[in-house]
Chain A
Amino acid sequence: MADFLINTVGLPEWLAWTTTAVVAAVLILNVIAGGALVFIWAERKIAARIQDRLGPTRTGGRFGWLQSLADGIKLLAKEDLMPEGADGMLFRLAPYISFCASFCAFIALPFAFDFVGQRLNVGVFFVVAVLGLEVFGVILAGYASASKWSLFGAMREAAQVVSYEVPLGMCVVVPVMLAGSMDLVTIAEKQAGWVSSWYLFHDPFTFVIFWVYVTCAVASVNRAPFDLAEAESELVAGFHTEYSGLRWSFFFMAEYGSMFLVSALAALLFLGGWNGPIPVAHLLGLSDGTGDTAGYFVRLLGCGNLIVKASLGVLIMMWIRWSLPRLRIDQVMATCLKYCTPIAAAMFAGAMFWQLALPGGLVRGLSRPAGEVREGWLEGPGGLSVRPTKAVSTPAVPVALVDDPRSQTEAKSIVQVSP
């Protein structure tokens, strides 16, 4: 976008970059905030229907569309309380830390081929790392509230989130291994084609890993059945007991933002990202490269695809929440250490051997040659305006067999492009 502003509109360079950054930040903020509004309404409706009642039906018409807005106005108008023994600075800062961690992870999340805040080479790693920082807001909130319910809830939640990062990391490594890159754009690009080229259907081990990922992701964002940190029946309200009004709503925007983030990550890693089940754009002969308006609309379609998949993930999380009973803390820890981690490790080993033996997956994509991808980091320093297509029929990261001619060619090509 900065190139467009510099070349077509003729803005000075510093203004173009600043505008691009501001637009990206505003768009991401809207995704989180608007998404939170929609998801809060959806949660109340889904919860109601599962519990055989109707949910909001009065604010804004028959379906209660404006219920979230009413909730927001109520929260804004509430009195801003702080408990007497609370640590003032930490109490005030804690919700913003949670929200910032959730917001920062969206920087590296691509919504379509060129719709990414900052295309990082270590995108997946960055997203998972920043997700783990959200727990700081929780710990500080629990500590600074000077209430034992808050502290208990915060410690439990911190233990849970930190423990589940281990199997989450292992689950995330499997698509990285299949794609050969940690770049989220590359991982999604490699799943282009029909639905059979999604990594979910790549091999049975990845299929199981996806379900382990779902479990770990739900535990990571502290949603039921893993939500005893905010369990109303046990800890009043856990770490956010003493928070009211706008500060509480920041915690909840952070939670819904994280839910959307892990769902979008699942969509990118396993469900094909912005590629739909049927490659409509490719069949019509359009491509989503930069530089033409048709490509822009194709990318917009892809962005819509990703948002639909991520929203489906969030709705499924809500469905799970209102269907399953809550786990105790020792059951949560047992699930992590006794089930998720060994299964993830075994499936990772299985996927690794499958990739060595049958590197194409079960069914190759029919619309493009297998694995044709715009390998971003091979492009020139102009950014994404150059589009070499590199047909890769082998795993992009070769196993380190130094005398294997395949790996040597790969290694040579890497050496050639680095100045």
Chain B
Amino acid sequence: MMPATLSLALPLALPLALLMTLPLAAINWHTLLFLLFAVVACACAVAVVLADNVVRMAFYLVLSLGATAGLFFLAGAEFLGAMQLMIYVGGTLVLLVFGVMLTAQSPFVAIKTSTGDRVLAGMVGAALLAVLLQSAFRVEAWQLPAVGAVTAPTATPLGMALLGVRVDAPAAGAPETAVRSGYLLPFEIVSVHLLVVLVGAAYLARAKRRRTPRAIDVAASSSSPPSSSSSGGVAATAREASSSSALVPGGRR
């Protein structure tokens, strides 16, 4: 009992002692929170690259985009952060996960690129990162410590800008006489664009009347029930689900 409590207390006491020695009053909470979100975003982005299972990749991507939304809130872009959460995380990623479920494959089938390709990709990625970081640190203006102004929130000026009226103060440092345009035309174009995408995607993904069976139906029927029960549990049920069109009874029209 005593050694058990001791072994429990020690790992708790050590970080606590370390914490007490830090100058807590000097911590810049903005920096700390920024580091928290930034580390999560970057680590999860790298995890997306390194993961093998595509559902886990989607999960890490969700975490990464959520942390990015936190970064947006920290930078003062509240409307954009909420928009990122709603549209990117809550919409696009749900769509992606749906796609992952509908195209689930057995995890034992290795879809891996060859080692040579991965080395080449890693080197190109490292070179790209080096170029980007070097250019980020080249401009002194970008490394000046933040002024930290507290400003008016941006939802109303953003909405007005999308209607074509700029009501926000001119950007800091910009010439006073610069013409600032509204964004009514891009707003309308994007609305029509989204409508076109909606119709197009629905048309592309419609259930079609076929004369010859689909390749996945052939594949599903060729893998007879005894073999499907022995393959990976999760993927097999997902494939069954997709081939029997779980969502709507009476799938094909």
Contact = CB atoms under 8 A, between A and B. Distances in A.
Interface of A: 12-15, 17, 83-87, 89-90, 93, 120-122, 125-126, 128-130, 132-133, 135-136, 139-140, 143-144, 146-148, 151-152, 155-156, 158-159, 162, 165, 181-182, 328-330, 333, 377, 381, 397, 400, 402, 407, 411, 414-415, 417-419
Contact of A90 (B59, B98, B246): B59
B246 A400 contact: no
A92 to B, nearest CB: 12
A122 B233 contact: no
Contact of B29 (A14, A400, A411): A14
A152 B94 contact: no
Listed from nearest, the 8 A-B pairs whose CB atoms lie closest are A85-B233, A129-B86, A121-B153, A132-B90, A418-B152, A146-B233, A129-B85, A400-B163
B226 interface: no
A339 to B, nearest CB: 18
B241 A400 contact: no
A83 B248 CA distance: 27
B248 A330 contact: yes
B156 A397 contact: yes
A120 B98 contact: no
Nearest to B233: A85
Interface string B141-152: 000000001111
B225 interface: no
B74 interface: no
B55 A90 contact: yes
Interface stretch (B108-116, B129-137, B165-173): B165-173
A328 B250 CA distance: 13
Interface in B37-86: 53, 55-56, 59, 62, 66, 78-79, 81-83, 85-86
Contacts of A121: 78-79, 153-155
Given A86-B234, A87-B53, A125-B82, A377 B247 contact: no
B219 interface: no
Nearest to A169: B86
Given A121-B155, A400-B164, 14 more contacts: A87-B53, A129-B90, A130-B85, A135-B94, A143-B238, A148-B237, A156-B246, A158-B98, A162-B91, A162-B94, A165-B90, A329-B248, A414-B156, A419-B150
12 contacts: A125-B83, A129-B82, A129-B85, A133-B90, A140-B59, A151-B237, A165-B90, A333-B248, A400-B164, A411-B160, A414-B168, A419-B151
Contacts, number: 151
Contacts of A182: 155
A328 B149 CA distance: 54
Nearest to A128: B86
A81 to B, nearest CB: 15
A397 B159 contact: yes
A136 B62 contact: yes
B220 interface: no
From B25, B151, B247, name the one whose CB has the most chain A CB atoms within 10 angstroms: B247
A381 B165 CA distance: 26
A220 to B, nearest CB: 12
Contact of B240 (A17, A148, A419): A148
